[in-house]
């Protein structure tokens, strides 16, 4: 089991093989103003009226209650966290739980235009969805996240060169239906940190008060959970970016079974790559005490990486990146350069990146343990040479040359 240090500006990574604790009777939490929006929300989806044909058109399999993970149901979760305080929705590849307050629309024009395009896309399959969203209430958010997550899933499948039909009918990795896992990916969007803590305490037997990703081992599912109460400075667009970053991590982690961890530079780079198109002002990184407070917007990363690449000995070498073992030791420039290395490889040949990921995931599982990091690193280096003709020195020099030619100066 690996635990990474907590911080407020990223989705914390934690995978474990601890089984969920037994469900025990508990006192219902008192409701507060934070609960009002979900408690007052319509119990029937106002945009489909729970009509089977409209649901099918919208890509909705069902609403809660339904099975969740490790043989726990959404009703079991509400027994612990409070009846009626959550909305639940299931799509082709995800189960989503929602308890956030209504959020305001983003203030900046770029973010509003981005949201308008999303609303237009949702309306193509949900005709009753409002053409002009004035606030981000529970049902509006649920439909947006259902669409966003299924789009991410499709984008990842396209990048990997796979479809659902490429995965077996079983419920055990690597032959599960969901990129190789046994059941659907999970997303919990909490308002309150206390709800997040209670979920992990009661259903994962783990103490935490920060956003996390978790492997539910009994049913082979990956969860991304966050609570926006503790996400200071995050507007709705930043929360969206954080969710996509976290879920992208889970999709690649679960691809053909979760039995190894990708090298940190590769896993982080891929997650940032898929979140990069969201115009967020908050990048999903930790800024180290040794780093001057940098520009947080991920859209500025090409400029920031180029400025460092101009100087000899300032960027991390590939050998240094391969030595990264602790997520908590990665700062702003670690993440930016990890993203850029993946950007470089994807621009060169995304099919070869997909082939590399597949070959890594073909490493055989190790009984009761993860595949050793050294084994994964050695194969990664071998594949970079075979597929891209890049040993460590050439990767450094050709990446740097590409950055200076490709990324803008300002």
Alpha carbon distance 389, 77 (integer Å): 50
Give me the pLDDT at residue 168, please. 86
Angstrom CA distances, 196 to 24, 32, 177, 210, 249, stand at: 17, 16, 28, 8, 19
Alpha carbon distance 309, 314 (integer Å): 7
Query: Do 223 and 302 have their domain in common?
Result: no
Please indicate whether residue 12 or residue 115 has the higher confidence score (pLDDT). 115
Query: Do 194 and 325 have their domain in common?
Result: no
Domain's final residue, options 232, 258, 284: 258
| Cis before 174 (ω within 30) | yes
What string of DSSP letters covers 104-169?
PPPSSHHHHHHHHHHHHHHHHH-TTS-SS--SB-HHHHHHHHHHHHHHHHHHHHHHHT--GGGS-S
The token pair at 314 is 């300032």
Say which residue the tokens 């969203």 belong to.
Answer: 133
Query: Do 239 and 285 have their domain in common?
Result: no
Query: Do 210 and 67 have their domain in common?
Result: yes
Domain's final residue, options 240, 258, 276: 258
Q: Is the predicted pLDDT of residue 377 greater than 60, yes or no? A: yes
Contact 211, 218 (CB under 8 A): no
Contact 182, 176 (CB under 8 A): yes
Give me the pLDDT at residue 28, please. 39
Alpha carbon distance 170, 178 (integer Å): 10
Q: How confident is the model at residue 22 (pLDDT cuts 50, 70, 90)?
A: very low
Alpha carbon distance 79, 25 (integer Å): 8
Alpha carbon distance 21, 204 (integer Å): 6
Query: Do 148 and 224 have their domain in common?
Result: yes
pTM reported for the whole predicted model = 0.92
Q: How confident is the model at residue 2 (pLDDT cuts 50, 70, 90)?
A: very low
The tally of domains found in the chain comes to: 2
Query: Do 302 and 187 have their domain in common?
Result: no
Q: How far is CA 198 from the centre of its chain?
A: 21
Query: Do 128 and 187 have their domain in common?
Result: yes
Q: Is 195 left (phi over 0), alpha (psi -120 to 50) or beta?
A: alpha
Alpha carbon distance 73, 78 (integer Å): 9
Contact 181, 173 (CB under 8 A): yes
Q: Is the predicted pLDDT of residue 16 greater than 50, yes or no? A: no
Q: How confident is the model at residue 376 (pLDDT cuts 50, 70, 90)?
A: very high
Query: Do 157 and 280 have their domain in common?
Result: no
Query: Do 47 and 68 have their domain in common?
Result: yes
Query: Do 144 and 249 have their domain in common?
Result: yes
Give me the pLDDT at residue 353, please. 98
Q: CB neighbours (10 Å) of residue 164?
A: 12
Domain's final residue, options 224, 258, 292: 258
Query: Do 293 and 313 have their domain in common?
Result: yes
Angstrom CA distances, 233 to 10, 203, 210, 281, 327, stand at: 12, 29, 15, 9, 22
Strands 221-227 and 212-216: antiparallel
| Containing structural domain, residue 309 | 267-406
Average pLDDT over residues 92-106: 96
The token pair at 117 is 């395009």
Phi, psi of 7 (to 5 degrees): -160, 165
The token pair at 103 is 């959020």
Q: Is the predicted pLDDT of residue 297 greater than 90, yes or no? A: no
Where is 250: in which H helix or E strand? helix 236-254
Query: Do 312 and 242 have their domain in common?
Result: no
């Amino acid at each position: 089991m690996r635990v990474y240090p907590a911080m407020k500006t990223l989705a914390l990574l934690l995978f474990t093989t601890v089984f969920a604790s037994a469900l025990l009777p508990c006192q219902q939490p008192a409701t507060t103003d934070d609960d009002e929006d979900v408690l007052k929300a319509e119990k029937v989806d106002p945009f489909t009226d729970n009509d089977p044909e409209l649901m099918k058109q919208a890509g909705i399999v069902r609403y809660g209650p339904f099975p969740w993970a490790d043989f726990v149901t959404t009703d079991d979760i509400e027994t612990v966290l409070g009846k009626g305080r959550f909305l639940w929705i299931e799509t082709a590849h995800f189960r989503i739980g929602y308890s956030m307050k209504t959020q305001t629309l983003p203030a900046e024009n770029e973010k509003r235009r981005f949201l308008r395009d999303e609303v237009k896309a949702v309306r193509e399959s949900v005709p009753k969805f409002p053409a002009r969203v004035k606030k981000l209430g529970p049902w509006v958010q649920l439909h947006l996240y259902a669409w966003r997550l299924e789009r991410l899933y499709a984008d990842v499948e396209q990048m990997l060169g796979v479809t659902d039909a490429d995965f077996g009918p079983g419920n055990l990795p690597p032959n599960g239906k969901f990129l190789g896992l046994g059941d659907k990916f999970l997303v919990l969007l909490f308002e309150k940190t206390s709800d997040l803590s209670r979920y992990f305490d009661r259903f994962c037997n783990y103490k935490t008060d920060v956003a996390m990703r978790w492997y539910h081992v009994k049913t082979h599912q990956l969860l991304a959970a966050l609570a926006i109460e503790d996400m200071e400075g995050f507007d709705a667009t930043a929360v969206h970016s954080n969710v996509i970053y976290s879920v992208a991590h889970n999709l690649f982690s679960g691809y053909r079974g979760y039995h190894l961890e990708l090298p940190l530079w590769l896993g982080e780079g891929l997650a940032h790559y898929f979140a990069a198109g969201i115009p967020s002002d908050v990048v999903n990184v930790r800024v180290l005490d040794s780093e001057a407070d940098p520009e947080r917007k991920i859209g500025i990363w090409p400029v920031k990486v180029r400025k460092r690449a101009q100087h000899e000995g300032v960027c991390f070498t590939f050998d240094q990146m391969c030595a990264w073992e602790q997520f908590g030791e990665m700062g702003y420039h670690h993440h930016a350069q990890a993203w850029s290395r993946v950007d470089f490889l994807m621009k060169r040949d995304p099919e070869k990146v997909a082939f590399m990921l597949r070959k890594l995931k073909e490493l055989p599982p190790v009984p009761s343990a993860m595949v050793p990091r050294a084994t994964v690193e050695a194969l990664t280096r071998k594949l970079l040479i075979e597929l891209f003709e890049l040993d460590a020195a050439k990767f450094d020099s050709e990446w740097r040359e590409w950055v200076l030619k490709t990324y803008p100066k300002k």
